[in-house]
Chain A
Amino acid sequence: MILKATSINTYYGGSHILQDVSFDVNKGEAVGLLGRNGVGKTTTLRSIMGLTPPRKGSIVFKNTEIVGKPAYSVSRLGIAYMPDDLRIFPDLSCDENLEIAARLSMLKGYWNKERVEELFPVLRARKKQKGLNLSGGEKKMLSLGRALMANPELILMDEPSEGLAPLIVKNLAEVIRTIRSQGMTILLADQNLKFCRKVSDRGYILEKGRVVYSGAIADIWGNEEVIKKYLVL
């Protein structure tokens, strides 16, 4: 087991967002966090990253307790984050956005700029462009590429398929399979069950800050009652 969250409780100011959320991720797995808007998927990822630290509960990453650690040390332990709003540095070029991640990370591994550019050829063409001037799709690739450049063991992806055309979503599923074939572990939050089915092994369904269902993604896909109750509006 690479990541194990036990009864985490996270607050935004006075509101109690995550209530006793528990889940785990095995090495090499891709796990989906499912659920509608506002159920706590993003907060779960931010809790792991140390950006919105839980007030109670435990998150263990590779035998290290990470609740209470600042984001920079969580990242140095080997967790990378691709936020839903992508957060490309607008003032840095495409290249600089990639390089900064590689150089800040102390980790070595398969991913480097050549391999990331092979995965996303458009990033090679945009090398010198400022982040500010990239299109939404390019930013998405850059955000994922930047996460890979750190050579983490676990990538947290927030809504990777959101806002992409169906054909691009298909490509993204292909890309995630490629990334997984290099041994990467992935925890993704996405509302798109069709997409999650293609890329993940297991899923947890969140509702109002609690885990209400978990199981193999194929089981969730086949369970109409659960889909109706928690996933489809």
Chain B
Amino acid sequence: MLESIVHVCLAGLSIGMFIWLVASGLTLIFGVLKVLNFAHGTFYMLGAYLCYWVLGRMGENFWLGLAIGPLVVCAAGFLIERFFLRHVYHLALPYQLLLTFAFVLIFDDAVKILWGAGSLGSPNVPGLSGSISILGRNFPLYSLFMIAVGPLVALAMWTFLERTWWGRIIRASSSDREMAAALGVRVPALYTAVFVLGTWLGALGGGLAVPYVGLLTPGMGEAIIIDAFVVAVIGGLGSLKGAFFGALIIGLLSSFGTRFLPTFDMFLTFILMAAVLLWRPQGFFGEAK
């Protein structure tokens, strides 16, 4: 029983860290730009496909694919913010959702045209492809790697936001865009930079998902974006700390749900979200309105 619980916990943590990677970019973008980017799951999908595409051309080197693929997606993020999203900041939320949802449809179809509608297989990762024995049972090494990557990304983001000059500008502008501008911040340029950084985080999550999810499908972004939204809502929209702990909770809940209550697996996540919304509408770490 104990081994079983330990393994379910580990699996939950690795699922949670995936959701965190996607939710982190979503949260960063919402926290600074106040835009709910529905296309964030699309960046995840593009990150996965481009990582796969690059590594296929670079001698099946996964790490090279992971380094290059998400950077290519950043170019798409840049164009979307600079030429489209920028024009809807002053409009109501539904317009932003509609616009970003349009990009979901466009890129889903683009992926179908470029790589076909079927699923692609996933590669092995040199060095991380086996499994190790934990309490007498095998656990995939790559999942363990993910459990380490998540907190590293969180630490890097925290250091960047709290300890660097750029982080300070971002924190100032996210709390008061107008005053930041009056002090000399080029807010539009900052928004572009933050959007591209958020895009990269989503695409990195997608690239890291390549060996993990086992297959790539054109709709893979929609599945993860729902989880990421749930996590962002539970943690408090715009709060990175909230997204991190929200992702841990959802990961563990879904892992335990699959193991012990398979019929109610999806149900549990949404019950939790509904409960949080009723009891604490601003989320665990969100500020009360």
**Across the interface, do B184 and A87 meet the contact criterion of CB distance under 8 Å?**
no
A163 at the interface (CB under 8 A from B): no
CB contact list, A51-103 vs B, under 8 A: 51, 70-72, 74-76, 80-81, 83, 87, 89-92, 96, 99-101, 103
B272 at the interface (CB under 8 A from A): no
- Looking at the complex, which one of B165, B168, B185 makes contact with A92 (CB distance below 8 Å)? B168
Shortest Cβ gap from B234 to chain A (Å): 22
Chain A residues lying within 8 Å of B168, measured Cβ to Cβ, are 92, 96, 99-100
Chain B residues lying within 8 Å of A51, measured Cβ to Cβ, are 178, 181-182
With a 10 A CB-CB cut-off, give which of B171, B176, B178, B182 has the most chain A CB atoms: B182
CA distance A183 to B176 in the complex (A): 30
**Across the interface, do B176 and A105 meet the contact criterion of CB distance under 8 Å?**
no
**Across the interface, do A100 and B182 meet the contact criterion of CB distance under 8 Å?**
no
Chain A residues lying within 8 Å of B165, measured Cβ to Cβ, are 103
CA distance A18 to B180 in the complex (A): 25
**Across the interface, do B183 and A101 meet the contact criterion of CB distance under 8 Å?**
yes
Measured CB to CB, the nearest residue on chain B to A106 is: B184
CA distance A76 to B182 in the complex (A): 9
**Across the interface, do A150 and B172 meet the contact criterion of CB distance under 8 Å?**
no
Chain A residues lying within 8 Å of B175, measured Cβ to Cβ, are 89-91
A146 at the interface (CB under 8 A from B): yes
Shortest Cβ gap from B286 to chain A (Å): 14
Chain B residues lying within 8 Å of A103, measured Cβ to Cβ, are 165
Chain B residues lying within 8 Å of A146, measured Cβ to Cβ, are 183
CA distance A2 to B217 in the complex (A): 63
Contact with A along B119-161 (1 / 0, CB 8 A): 0000000000000000000000000000000000000000000
Measured CB to CB, the nearest residue on chain B to A76 is: B184
Chain A residues lying within 8 Å of B171, measured Cβ to Cβ, are 89, 91-92
**Across the interface, do B169 and A89 meet the contact criterion of CB distance under 8 Å?**
no
Chain A residues lying within 8 Å of B172, measured Cβ to Cβ, are 89, 91-92, 100
A122 at the interface (CB under 8 A from B): no
- Looking at the complex, which one of B169, B181, B186 makes contact with A100 (CB distance below 8 Å)? B169
A34 at the interface (CB under 8 A from B): no
B213 at the interface (CB under 8 A from A): no
B179 at the interface (CB under 8 A from A): yes
Measured CB to CB, the nearest residue on chain B to A101 is: B183
Chain A residues lying within 8 Å of B180, measured Cβ to Cβ, are 89
**Across the interface, do B186 and A87 meet the contact criterion of CB distance under 8 Å?**
no
Chain A residues lying within 8 Å of B182, measured Cβ to Cβ, are 49, 51, 71-72, 74-75, 80-81, 83
A104 at the interface (CB under 8 A from B): yes
B9 at the interface (CB under 8 A from A): no
Chain B residues lying within 8 Å of A76, measured Cβ to Cβ, are 184
Shortest Cβ gap from B239 to chain A (Å): 11
**Across the interface, do A104 and B185 meet the contact criterion of CB distance under 8 Å?**
yes
Measured CB to CB, the nearest residue on chain A to B178 is: A51
> Residues of A with Cβ closer than 8 Å to B?
49, 51, 70-72, 74-76, 80-81, 83, 87, 89-92, 96, 99-101, 103-106, 146, 150
Would you give 7 A-B contacts (Cβ < 8 Å), ordered by A? A70-B181, A80-B183, A83-B179, A87-B176, A89-B172, A92-B172, A100-B168
